[in-house]
Chain A
Amino acid sequence: DQQVKQNSPSLSVQEGRISILNCDYTNSMFDYFLWYKKYPAEGPTFLISISSIKDKNEDGRFTVFLNKSAKHLSLHIVPSQPGDSAVYFCAASDTQGGSEKLVFGKGTKLTVNP
């Protein structure tokens, strides 16, 4: 049973426009969420995170929104740049419940066209 779902395998946007990547989760015990970016032949790199006590976290061009009632989070990139083209993974964890595991979605490949 997939606990973290990224239902869009790919997304293509124009440079300068907004990119919105979505993620849904099923485990209501998840209380910390992270987004990672991965370029080909490299390890994933941390992008931004959000705790369940917040509904928004911003870092430069990147904003993550959390809707706990819908068990949904999204990553907004504004404006999108060609260098943002990568695979983006959503991940979630239950930091208080004793399950010391980070659960990843399958990823969304973002292509930003010049």
Chain B
Amino acid sequence: NAGVTQTPKFQVLKTGQSMTLQCAQDMNHEYMSWYRQDPGMGLRLIHYSVGAGITDQGEVPNGYNVSRSTTEDFPLRLLSAAPSQTSVYFCASSYEWTSTYNEQFFGPGTRLTVL
């Protein structure tokens, strides 16, 4: 298993540009999520999905869109990038939300800089 994969690893955008951060998992996990990590702020939840076709907002959803058309993929879209979105983005997945062992597996991250 490749686990959770994220592309690209690094990206530089100009203000106002759009892009999609890709996330895929091959563990047949139902639950997937996106976090951003900023210095001194820990990991903050952006959006999450409990299964294909179902998404919901996390703590910091503004400026981001998600969709979940398949179990495997959970892309994160920035429609109009802003410098405040400069961050490291992590995708994570777990078997299901209500399982006894709610361990989330994280991808390696995408480092995004918005100029």
A3 smallest CB distance to B (angstroms): 10
User: Does B45 contact A102, Cβ atoms closer than 8 Å?
Assistant: yes
Sample of 15 A–B contacts (CB below 8 Å): A34-B102, A42-B108, A43-B107, A43-B108, A43-B109, A44-B106, A46-B103, A46-B104, A49-B102, A95-B97, A95-B98, A100-B50, A101-B48, A104-B42, A107-B42
Give the distance in Å from the alpha carbon of A6 to the alpha carbon of B100 in the complex.
24
Chain A interface, number of residues (Cβ within 8 angstroms): 26
B74 within 8 A of A: no
User: Does B45 contact A101, Cβ atoms closer than 8 Å?
Assistant: yes
- CB contacts under 8 Å to B, within A23-42, are 32, 34, 36, 41-42
Identity of the chain A residue whose Cβ is nearest the Cβ of B111 in the assembled complex: A41
B94 smallest CB distance to A (angstroms): 9
Contacts of A100 in B (CB 8 A): 31, 48, 50, 56, 97
A68 within 8 A of B: no
User: Does A106 contact B40, Cβ atoms closer than 8 Å?
Assistant: yes
Q: Interface on A for B, CB 8 Å cutoff?
A: 6, 9, 32, 34, 36, 41-46, 49, 51, 89, 91, 93, 95-96, 100-107
User: Does B97 contact A42, Cβ atoms closer than 8 Å?
Assistant: no
Give the distance in Å from the alpha carbon of A46 to the alpha carbon of B101 in the complex.
11
Contacts of B45 in A (CB 8 A): 101-103
Give the distance in Å from the alpha carbon of A102 to the alpha carbon of B105 in the complex.
12
Most interface-central of A44, A45, A93, A102 (chain B CB within 10 A): A102
Contacts of A36 in B (CB 8 A): 106
Identity of the chain B residue whose Cβ is nearest the Cβ of A100 in the assembled complex: B97
- CB contacts under 8 Å to A, within B30-77, are 31, 33, 35, 40-45, 48, 50, 56, 58-59
Partner of A32, one of B4, B33, B56, B102: B102
Give the distance in Å from the alpha carbon of A41 to the alpha carbon of B103 in the complex.
21
User: Does A102 contact B42, Cβ atoms closer than 8 Å?
Assistant: no
User: Does A34 contact B103, Cβ atoms closer than 8 Å?
Assistant: yes
